[in-house]
Structure 1
Amino acid sequence: MKLYAVSDGPPSLAVRMTLKALEIQYQLINVDFCALEHRTDEYAKMNPQKEIPVLDDDGFFLSESIAIMQYLCDKYAPDSSLYPQDANLRAVINQRLCFNMGFYYAPISSHSMAPIFFDYERTPMTLRKVQNALEVFETYLQRLGTKYAAGDNVTIADFALVSATLCLEAIHFDLTQYPLVARWYATFKEEFPQLWEIANSGMQEISAFEENPPDLSEMEHPFHPTRKAKA
């Protein structure tokens, strides 16, 4: 098994945490994002979307981090509490995964990652969208009343949501206005230090890029617009 991943990419980190939690042996292949290794024709044979990550399970190629995490659990640990078979429990996990993909990570990425790597700026509007996402997550945690995002046990939904939230920590975003989110995030770090070690490695890279943005001025590519120099 091989995982084509980027070292600081939240979707890649979520999949790596799943592999670690399931104790699946695999080869980690780093994809150089800045060198556009994911935009090559060779990479497109594995994933026509040319996005990261991609799983190669003995010639079976699968992209999209949610699909990869679900596949790993279904095939290699069907009885795991990370993605239980119970329809109601699984429905909540799936909802949280969809929530992260479409409502939570998207504005967080636009506010935290895009200004580092692309020609985007942090504005009051991007901040408000992040705040809105956090408010909704806070509400989900309050209504469910459990330790983790989809229940009292950690699930693959938490891996995705943690990987998104670490982007905020990387840019020193204050979570104190969202006490349930902050507690959930701290609990994960405390209870799963080996998994957090994976997530933290990516967070530290993003934090370093925040302080010293990469020079992408020579990257002339429609999917990678020239980023503006910070003042």
Structure 2
Amino acid sequence: MTMKLYAVSDGPPSLAVRMVLHALNIPYELVSIDFIAGQHMTDEYAKMNPQKEIPVLDDDGFYLPESVAIMQYLCDKYSPTSKLYPREATQRAIVNHRMCFNMGFYYSAISAHSMAPIFFDYQRTDMSLKKVNNALNVFETYLQEGGTKYAAADFLTIADFALVSATLCLEAIGFDLSNYPLVQKWYETFKKENPELWEIAKSGMLEIAEFEKNPPDLSHMNHPFHPTRKPKV
């Protein structure tokens, strides 16, 4: 049975998982979820992921949500010796930390400032901008203290996929990274040295950029955890 990934085309967590699948050369079927149509809110989708969030991996009937867990699983099962998720304890701990940092601190701040105002009834504020700058400042510190080429090592790891997918949201809304030279250098290095992976990420970034210019009308959606986006007049 072909592995399936239920994903949204411009969702950073979905993009991160797609990059891992490509990097590990794992064949899979991409099942596009229409977020605007609310396909992730159906009872059928909830059977795969009660959280009704995207993405979800279906590996021969084994359903796994949460992008970080999916990336770790793919490496552990299909390429256990891959440097993308090193097995040495200290190296793996740093990779795990960077992914936790992204999920709980970095992407959460970026998403609230970039994505939420597009897809939900939130506003960009001085406070949301302050949180983004704080997150970038912390990432800058990690890159400086680590002294590594990539986010967790001198080689590419799955932590980079997660962090790149978050950072592209800022590029999509025209955010200037020049105040964070190490973050900017890391981001541009990823693009330059991993063009096939960046093509996957770039496709999502361009979609977000288009939505930034022309926000979708999601007033028909009924999401239990977020207010519904009001159409612009």
TM-score w.r.t. the length of structure 2 is: 0.97
Residues 218, 48 of structure 1: alpha-carbon distance in 2 compared, 3 angstrom cutoff? closer
Contact preservation (8 Å) 2:84, 2:157: yes
1:215 CA displacement: 1.1
Instruction: Say whether 1:97 aligns with 2:88.
Output: no
Alignment of 1:44-55 (within 5 A): 44-55=46-57
Q: SS in structure 2 opposite 1:72?
A: helix
Distance of 1:188 and 1:218 partners within structure 2: 38
Contact preservation (8 Å) 2:118, 2:211: yes
Contact preservation (8 Å) 2:217, 2:230: no
Q: Runs (4+) of structure 1 moved beyond 6 Å?
A: none
Instruction: Say whether 1:152 aligns with 2:158.
Output: no
How many residues were matched structurally?
A: 231
Distance of 1:226 and 1:47 partners within structure 2: 21
Instruction: Say whether 1:87 aligns with 2:89.
Output: yes
Residue 189 (structure 1) aligns with: 191
Residue 228 (structure 2) aligns with: 226
Root-mean-square deviation (CA, aligned residues, Å) is 1.0
Instruction: Say whether 1:115 aligns with 2:117.
Output: yes
**Uncovered stretches (5+) of structure 2, i.e. residues with no partner:** none
Of 37, 40, 48, 2:39 maps to 37
Distance of 2:178 and 2:106 partners within structure 1: 18
Contact preservation (8 Å) 1:219, 1:225: no
Residues 213, 58 of structure 1: alpha-carbon distance in 2 compared, 3 angstrom cutoff? same
Q: SS in structure 1 opposite 2:30?
A: strand
TM-score w.r.t. the length of structure 1 is: 0.98
**Uncovered stretches (5+) of structure 1, i.e. residues with no partner:** none
Of 205, 210, 216, 2:212 maps to 210
Contact preservation (8 Å) 2:4, 2:31: yes
